[in-house]
Amino acid sequence: MSNLKYLKEEWKAVFSCMGCGDCGYAIRPAVGRYLTCPVKEAKGEEGFEIYFARGRMNVLKSLLEGKIPLSKELAEWVYQCSECGNCAEVCHMSQNPYIVLPTCNWIDHVKVWDALRKDLVEAGFAPLDKHGDLIEFMDNDKKKNPYGEERNLKFEWIKEFPEIKDQGELMFFGGCTMPLRQVDTLRSMMKILKVTGKEIAMTKEEWCCGSIALRIGDKKSLTDIIKHNITEFEKKGTKTLFTACAGCYRTWKKDYPELLGKALPFKVKHITEFLIDLLNNNEILFKAEEGEKLKVTYHDPCHLGRHMDLYEIPREVLSKIPGIELIEMKRNRKNAWCCGAGGGVKSQFPDLALEISKERIREALETGADILTTSCPFCIGNLKDAYKEMAPDIQEKIKLIDIIDLIASKI
């Protein structure tokens, strides 16, 4: 049996949980905070205690005290968490400068959940079935993507754009979801770039960034992936790498340097950081606007917001698009409701992912916005699936559009 190697490293965080329950029940309208754990809420009656952070921490305490063992059943429960990080935000919020508690300000909940996942994998109780398939596809030399598609398929769209070079200072990392599932958004990106005259390059040797393996806790192939991807982009003369996927962005910008123990040899940007520079330099010329303003609401992807603190730049991008009025959802920025797809939930527990997503769509509807936008293909995919299960008129009432497509529709 595993010796809980990784969880033991987090023991201080686990035992710092004082059981206040804010991560399950705190509602503080005065500071814009409404409920915390999407999994607990989506589970309804069944979602009592064990599905939100306090219950999770109690189980982890029991594991560390040797009262319960790791098991397959435990793994089934552990992975029903989207690692959205909302529990960390509310827990830290309970800090009061006048009350000195040696606790919440340094519990990194997602790091704790990740540690247990790694122990479950080492002990052989994970990956769960569907997660195992994704990792196998990602490692397979003929695929190198978690969707199990042929490797070359990811680069088919590039044939339409001979202007994309195969090396250069500004390199685009396509990732897997957009080129394999939302290729029209890449066409929109190229439309924007054409207007600006910016040249980008791509390499057909990029592999999946490995985000899925990281979130599942399966570290086996990560060293190879990281080494391969960094070497490949270095070889191409990269000075700035940008990506349109929130998951790839977190992996490149946070996980790679942490795992390597040093900074990357080039800058990493999310596409919204790249777009804001173009917009600030007036390099994107928009069509003249007529008629009423479109009301748009923005969904913060967890991997962009809470995980990477990128809240304002996507909003600044939206504010620069003519004919648009941004209306916030009740839960936004640090308190944004997760789309439900992250942490491996979408693949292993699709119904749970959809329930969470439907709640986010209902919240978007409440704003009266015409468009729900975001900047992550993984969120878009899950929200799109949830739309299909909701009343048909909802799709009429509020359209789901990636921020890139929104810009492209205005030029």
Footprint on this chain of ligand SF4 (rule: CB under 6 A): 17-23, 36-39, 52-54, 56-57, 81-87, 90-91, 94, 104, 107, 109
Is the C-alpha dihedral spanning 240, 243, 244, 247 positive or negative?
A: negative
Identify whether the C-beta of residue 60 lies closer than 8 Å to the C-beta of residue 54: no
Least distance (Å) between residue 201 CB and ligand SF4: 36
Least distance (Å) between residue 323 CB and ligand SF4: 35
**Alpha carbons 403 and 274: distance in angstroms, whole number:** 13
Query: Nearer Cβ to ligand SF4, position 15 or 161?
Result: 15
Least distance (Å) between residue 63 CB and ligand SF4: 16
Query: Nearer Cβ to ligand SF4, position 78 or 278?
Result: 78
Identify whether the C-beta of residue 124 lies closer than 8 Å to the C-beta of residue 34: no
Of the candidates 300, 264, 307, the one whose C-alpha atom is nearest the C-alpha of residue 171 is 264
Least distance (Å) between residue 334 CB and ligand SF4: 12
Identify whether the C-beta of residue 349 lies closer than 8 Å to the C-beta of residue 80: yes
Identify whether the C-beta of residue 16 lies closer than 8 Å to the C-beta of residue 104: yes
Least distance (Å) between residue 52 CB and ligand SF4: 5
Least distance (Å) between residue 17 CB and ligand SF4: 3
Query: Nearer Cβ to ligand SF4, position 55 or 179?
Result: 55
Least distance (Å) between residue 339 CB and ligand SF4: 11
Identify whether the C-beta of residue 409 lies closer than 8 Å to the C-beta of residue 324: no
Least distance (Å) between residue 353 CB and ligand SF4: 11
Of the candidates 292, 309, 240, 289, the one whose C-alpha atom is nearest the C-alpha of residue 269 is 240
